[in-house]
Amino acid sequence: MYHNGKGVPQNDVEAVNWYRKAADQGYVSAQTMLGAMSKDDAETVRWSRMAAEQGDALAQGILGVMYTEGRGVSKDDAEAVRWFRKAAEQGDALGQAYIGFAYSEGRGVPKNDVEAIRWHRLAANQGDAMAQANLGEAYEKGLGISRDISQAVYWYRKAAGQGVSEAQVALKRLGYK
């Protein structure tokens, strides 16, 4: 309520106070929210890990980001992939997009364009804009999939419609608006 200002004035300090009370009692969603709201990386990792270990996909994704960026933990691409995969396997689009990126770049996993496409497609079909742009690029360049400019344009347009500048540039480069 306090976090979103529903029925009460919006107040992050009060929201954190109530989330902490719930988190201390084991409420996973409160642990996730504390991790997401914290301005301290170590606290983000602590609360996110608690929720992630209990299967919360959002917390697993947050933990993946922390390992990717080396915030509150040592940078570790393999550990990031482990957490993103847990989220992705629950259908989390962000986790799927990150797994696709990891495979396309060979970060934390061996480079594998076919696997990258599989994960990008899952995320793209859920509306993840960067996954859509990455799928467009794969079709344009034939990375892990047969080159198909019409499919590249299709996915670039979806991404561009969500404001992804790389997709907008790609469409222009290919002669489309």
Query: What is the C-alpha to C-alpha distance for residues 152 and 101, in angstroms, rounded to an integer?
Result: 17
pLDDT mean across residues, the chain: 91
Q: What does the pLDDT look like over 139-170, one tens digit per residue?
A: 999 999 999 999 999 999 999 999 999 999 99
pTM of this structure? 0.84
Task: Give yes or no for a contact between 59 and 32, defined as CB atoms under 8 angstroms apart.
Answer: yes
Q: What is the pLDDT of residue 2?
A: 43
Residue found by looking up tokens 């201390």 in the block: 24
In percent, how much of the chain has pLDDT > 90? 75
Asked if residue 60 has pLDDT above 60, the reply is: yes
Residue found by looking up tokens 């999939």 in the block: 145
Asked if residue 34 has pLDDT above 90, the reply is: no
Query: What is the C-alpha to C-alpha distance for residues 84 and 58, in angstroms, rounded to an integer?
Result: 10
Token representation of residue 121: 């497609």
Query: What is the C-alpha to C-alpha distance for residues 32 and 21, in angstroms, rounded to an integer?
Result: 13
Query: What is the C-alpha to C-alpha distance for residues 106 and 167, in angstroms, rounded to an integer?
Result: 22
Asked if residue 126 has pLDDT above 80, the reply is: yes
Token representation of residue 135: 């799928």
143, 152, 135, 106: CA torsion to nearest 10: 30
Q: What is the pLDDT of residue 31?
A: 83
Query: What is the C-alpha to C-alpha distance for residues 56 and 87, in angstroms, rounded to an integer?
Result: 8
Token representation of residue 166: 């790389």
